[in-house]
A and B are shown apart, each in its own frame.
Chain A
């Protein structure tokens, strides 16, 4: 079945550093891919998504490209801010119409 693996955290960066959070997937077919963000004490919010190979999702300075050849959907941001501190979840569409989430990566950005 479909599955997703994302890098273990926590990730600690200084403000304005470059961010990469790795996410790889195993899937039959070509499911949509997502990144969700969870700020402390809140629910999850959709950050960005890509629905087919080579699509690039982007939002709030974050980007991720749907790479079929490497089965990856890495999240990147060129210059992180303290307000980006949160837990980030990679997800893909499951074969039963649900979403399958990675375990989450906690990002802490220090001023």
Chain B
């Protein structure tokens, strides 16, 4: 069966520090991968999605970036965190929209 792993679960980082969040999927090949952010008390904001290795689409211009170095690995990064980057970050995978997404357990990022 397919599983999705996301880590770390929580992270506290100072303003201006770098960020790297990792997401891996097991039990499937060539999934579509997504990064979402959920700010406190707000809905889901799609940040990036990828349909294959090295293929990244950005939905919102900001100081975050994403990479997909391997088929089942999706990384969210920043060179310098801002206070506004705080939130709950969710990774998800799917084959196609009609089958829905499977989400990871999320990373709670607090920038101080």
Contact A42 B44, CB 8 Å, known A31-B98, A94-B97? no
State the CA gap A51–B96 with chains docked (Å).
13
Whether B44 pairs with A89 at a CB distance below 8 angstroms is yes
- The answer for the CA separation of A44 and B92 in the assembled complex, in Å, is 9
Whether the Cβ atoms of B100 and A103 lie closer than 8 Å is: no
Chain B residues within an 8 Å CB radius of A102: 43
Write out, one digit per residue, whether chain A residues 35-68 have a CB within 8 A of any chain B CB (1) or not (0): 0100001111110010100000000000000000
B90 at the interface (CB under 8 A from A): yes
Which residue of chain A is the closest to B32 with respect to CB atoms? A97
Q: Are B104 and A103 in contact (CB under 8 A)?
A: no
B-binding residues in A (CB < 8 A):
31-32, 34, 36, 41-46, 49, 51, 89, 91, 93-94, 97-99, 101-104
